[in-house]
Amino acid sequence: MKKGIMIFLLVISVSFLIMGCSAGEENDGSSVADSLENTQKVEVTSLESSDATTISDNNDIEEFVDALKVDEWELEDIPSEASEDKTFKMYQQDTVKLGESENQNDDLNEVATMTTYKDVPNVKFDVESLSLSFKVPDEVAEYLNSKINN
C-alpha cells in the first residue's frame, strides 16, 4: 500500500514539474502577434496631415495583424537621422473580471503604440512602459506607410 502511494505521488510530482517547465516556452514572436489579434480598434495618424484612419472591422484588423509579419521583425535601433511618419494606436477592451458582465465596461483602452519612420523600414513599438525598436521587412514598411491613404 505504501509503495503504491509513493509511486502515485511520484507520478503526480513529475507531471506538475513537466507542466511547469513547458508553461514558459511560449515566449516567441507569435505571442506578440496573438496579443495584437485581440486589438479591437487601430487609429492611424500622420504627422504631415490632420487626416486619420480608424480600423475597427474584425476582418480589417485581422488583415492588419497578418500584414505586420511580426515573426520577421528584428531588434534594431532607429537610425538617428530618421524622422517619424505615422502613429498606430491600438485599443482593446478591458478583460472581463469575475463578477462583471461583458457589457459592463465597453470603453476601449490604448494598449500599444507603433511609430513608423520615413524612408527607413523601422518601427518603434511601445507597450506599457516598454519601448522596442525593430527593423521590419520592406513589404511591411510599405504596407504601414500606405495605411493613411486608404
Residue 66's domain spans which residues? 28-149
One digit per residue, the tens of pLDDT, for the chain of length 150 reads: 666 676 666 556 655 555 555 454 444 444 455 567 678 888 999 888 777 889 888 899 889 989 999 999 999 999 999 999 999 998 988 766 666 555 555 678 888 899 999 999 999 999 888 899 999 999 999 999 887 654
Question: Which domain CATH number covers 90?
Answer: 2.60.40
Q: Confirm whether 74 is domain-assigned.
A: yes
Q: Confirm whether 2 is domain-assigned.
A: no
Residue 14's pLDDT is 56
Q: Confirm whether 105 is domain-assigned.
A: yes
Q: Confirm whether 34 is domain-assigned.
A: yes
**Number of domains into which the chain is organized:** 1
Q: Confirm whether 9 is domain-assigned.
A: no
Across the chain, where does the E strand assignment appear? 41-46, 52-55, 74-75, 84-93, 108-117, 122-127, 130-135
What's this model's pTM, rounded to 2 decimal places?
0.69
Q: Confirm whether 10 is domain-assigned.
A: no
Q: Confirm whether 6 is domain-assigned.
A: no
Q: Confirm whether 85 is domain-assigned.
A: yes
What cell numbers appear for 137 in the block? 521587412
138: enclosing H helix or E strand: helix 138-146
